[in-house]
């Protein structure tokens, strides 16, 4: 299923609701099974309403901006290759690769500038598109990459709900993953004690649930590292503009990504991978 699967699912969903309602109206006119059909009509109405709300919520996605789209182009130091279900950022590094899960309702391409910076610094990257732009629907997306490419060390990474999905994969596959990078996110399951772990968020983040974040510390592995970016926001890790409910950043998204990439590369250099 592609990241735009919501568009594919809308038509059959609408047809199902229409056919169900039309069939019941016909049966009611024939005075057959009226009680059952009334119940079915109510169910169809509820299904239609719930679907309209869901697709309406899903349709308000955050689009990659011009800077992000520009970062999808290859340059002297990094080759950006479109692969099935995402992009590969192939830089000068050979041993370590990072697999990135985007945040909910955010176009995967919005994180291209960050992946590009990391690849330039020696950590190749795989930026994955998710079904319905929700990484929680494909927690095992990393399986499409691991094993297909010859890297000695794999690092899972994700932003917001994408980080939750990435941490679920890391918790379930400690033998495949060397490190876990979470951006404005937190794990919901206990992580292997040997896993290298780095958490990064901005102090002006208005979206991250701080209470849940603090509670998640019991799942962090020993030796976990944390970085709080002064002036950083929730949306600043990607290039897709302002996000609803977020705090006002005191620095540009470009600067936040620069600081993040520097911290991540330093963490990797310390033996995270």
Q: Which residues contact 154 (CB under 8 A, 6 or more apart)?
A: 96, 97, 98, 99, 142, 146, 176, 177, 178, 179, 273
pLDDT score of 179: 97
The Cα–Cα gap between 125 and 143 comes to 14
Kindly state the tokens that stand for 46.
């509820």
pLDDT score of 122: 96
CA-only gyration radius of the chain, Å: 22
Angle at 105 between CA 136 and CA 47, to 5 degrees: 75
pLDDT score of 60: 77
Q: Are 167 and 187 in contact (CB under 8 A)?
A: yes
The H or E element that residue 164 is part of is helix 161-172
Using alpha carbons, select from 209, 265, 204, 197 the residue that is nearest to residue 235.
204
Q: Which residues contact 129 (CB under 8 A, 6 or more apart)?
A: 2, 3, 85, 86, 102, 108
Q: At what angle do helices 112-120 and 253-267 cross, to 10 degrees?
A: 40
Using alpha carbons, select from 59, 58, 82 the residue that is nearest to residue 69.
82
The Cα–Cα gap between 204 and 2 comes to 33
pLDDT along the chain (273 residues), means of 10: 42 60 61 60 57 52 97 97 97 97 98 98 98 96 94 97 98 96 98 97 98 98 97 98 97 98 95 60
Residue 134, SS3 per DSSP: coil
Q: What pTM was estimated for this model as a whole? A: 0.82
Q: Which residues contact 67 (CB under 8 A, 6 or more apart)?
A: 113, 239, 253, 254
What are the strands, taking DSSP E only, across the chain?
79-83, 86-90, 96-101, 124-128, 153-159, 179-183, 196-202, 225-229
Using alpha carbons, select from 173, 175, 153 the residue that is nearest to residue 98.
153
């Amino acid at each position: 299923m592609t990241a735009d699967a919501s568009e594919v699912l809308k038509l059959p969903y609408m047809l199902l609701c229409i056919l169900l309602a039309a069939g019941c109206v016909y049966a009611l006119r024939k005075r057959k099974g009226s009680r059952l059909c009334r119940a079915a009509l109510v169910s169809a109405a509820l299904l239609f309403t719930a679907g309209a709300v869901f697709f309406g919520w899903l349709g308000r996605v955050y689009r990659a901006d011009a800077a992000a789209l520009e970062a999808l182009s290859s340059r002297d130091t990094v080759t950006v290759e479109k692969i099935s279900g995402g992009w590969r950022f192939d830089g000068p590094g050979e041993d370590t690769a990072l697999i990135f899960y985007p945040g909910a309702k955010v176009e995967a391409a919005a994180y291209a500038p960050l992946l590009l910076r990391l690849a330039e610094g020696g950590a190749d990257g795989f930026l994955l598109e998710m079904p319905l732009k929700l990484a929680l629907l494909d927690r095992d997306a990393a399986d499409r990459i691991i094993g297909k490419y010859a890297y000695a060390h794999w690092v899972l990474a994700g932003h917001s709900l994408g980080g939750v999905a990435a941490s679920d994969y890391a918790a379930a596959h400690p033998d495949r993953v060397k490190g876990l990078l979470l951006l404005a996110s937190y794990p919901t399951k206990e992580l292997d004690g040997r896993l290298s772990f780095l958490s990064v968020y901005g102090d002006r983040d208005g979206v991250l649930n701080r209470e849940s974040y603090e509670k998640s510390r019991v799942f962090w592995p020993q030796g976990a590292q944390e970085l709080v970016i002064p002036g950083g926001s929730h949306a600043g890790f990607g290039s897709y503009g302002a996000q609803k409910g977020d705090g006002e950043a005191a620095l540009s998204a470009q600067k936040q990504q620069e600081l993040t990439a520097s911290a991540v590369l330093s963490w990797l250099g310390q033996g995270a991978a």
